């Protein structure tokens, strides 16, 4: 799982739902709670797993300690926790490294799309681009200038 098609909001929403169920819940029942099909909730589960907030076994999704810490925290605290997790996601780490190594610390949209294409061979690279922007903006790691269509490293990354 390189990158799931789920926004950070969706992932946190999922965590909150599992928390309500006592910290562990069956995937099918989670889907039913939200009136979703199983494959509609799957990306959020994958995302939560990728960020280290859940462990999945036998169709059961269980919150990690990190997740519980996140849920107890306030809005600003949450941002800090998430930021560290996002920075550690392999594809995002690669992207930030690449930006660091470049001269102007910028990359054009086209270059990013190519970058994604190499790692995720899918037709809808645009969608993954949006997810990366969503995650990295949330984390305050990378910014995107829609006028010049370039991503750039944010200070403190």
Partner 1 sequence: MLVEIRNVSKTYESDGTRIGVLDSIDFSVDDNDFICIVGPSGCGKSTLLRIIVGLEKPTSGEVLFKGKAIAPENPKVAMVFQNFALFPWLTVTENIELVLEPKVHDEKQREEIACRYIRAVGLDGFEKVYPRELSGGMKQRVGFARALAVEPILLCMDEPFSSLDALTAQNLKDELLMLWADASMPPEAVIMVTHNVEEAVYMANRIILLSPRPGKVIADLRIELERPRNRKDPEFYRWVDKVYSLIV
Chain residues in the site for partner 1 (CB under 8 A): 7, 9-14, 16-17, 20-22, 33-36, 41, 44, 74-76, 78-79, 133-134, 137-140, 143-146, 154
* Cα 51 from Cα 118, distance rounded (Å): 22
Name the residue nearer to partner 1 (CB basis): 15 or 118.
Answer: 15
* Cα 118 from Cα 130, distance rounded (Å): 16
Task: State the minimum distance, in angstroms, from the CB of residue 100 to partner 1.
Answer: 18
Name the residue nearer to partner 1 (CB basis): 39 or 121.
Answer: 39
Task: State the minimum distance, in angstroms, from the CB of residue 74 to partner 1.
Answer: 6
Interior/surface letters 126-141, b for 16+ CB within 10 angstroms, e for the rest: eebbebbbbbbebbbb
Task: State the minimum distance, in angstroms, from the CB of residue 60 to partner 1.
Answer: 15
- The answer to whether 68 and 23 have CB atoms below 8 angstroms apart is yes
Name the residue nearer to partner 1 (CB basis): 121 or 147.
Answer: 147
- The answer to whether 128 and 114 have CB atoms below 8 angstroms apart is no
């Amino acid at each position: 799982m390189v990158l799931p098609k789920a926004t950070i909001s969706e992932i946190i929403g999922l965590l909150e739902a599992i928390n309500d169920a006592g910290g562990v819940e069956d995937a099918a029942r989670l889907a039913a709670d939200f009136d979703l099909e199983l494959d509609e909730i799957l990306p959020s589960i994958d995302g939560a797993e990728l960020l280290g907030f859940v462990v999945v076994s036998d169709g059961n999704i269980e919150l990690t300690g990190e997740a519980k810490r996140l849920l107890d925290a306030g809005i600003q605290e949450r941002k800090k926790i998430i930021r560290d997790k996002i920075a550690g996601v392999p594809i995002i780490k690669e992207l930030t490294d690449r930006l660091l190594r470049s001269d102007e610390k910028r990359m054009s949209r086209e270059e990013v799309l190519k970058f994604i294409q190499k790692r995720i061979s899918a037709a809808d690279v645009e969608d993954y681009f949006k997810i990366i922007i969503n995650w990295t903006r949330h984390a305050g790691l990378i910014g995107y200038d829609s006028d010049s269509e370039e991503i750039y490293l944010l200070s403190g990354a």
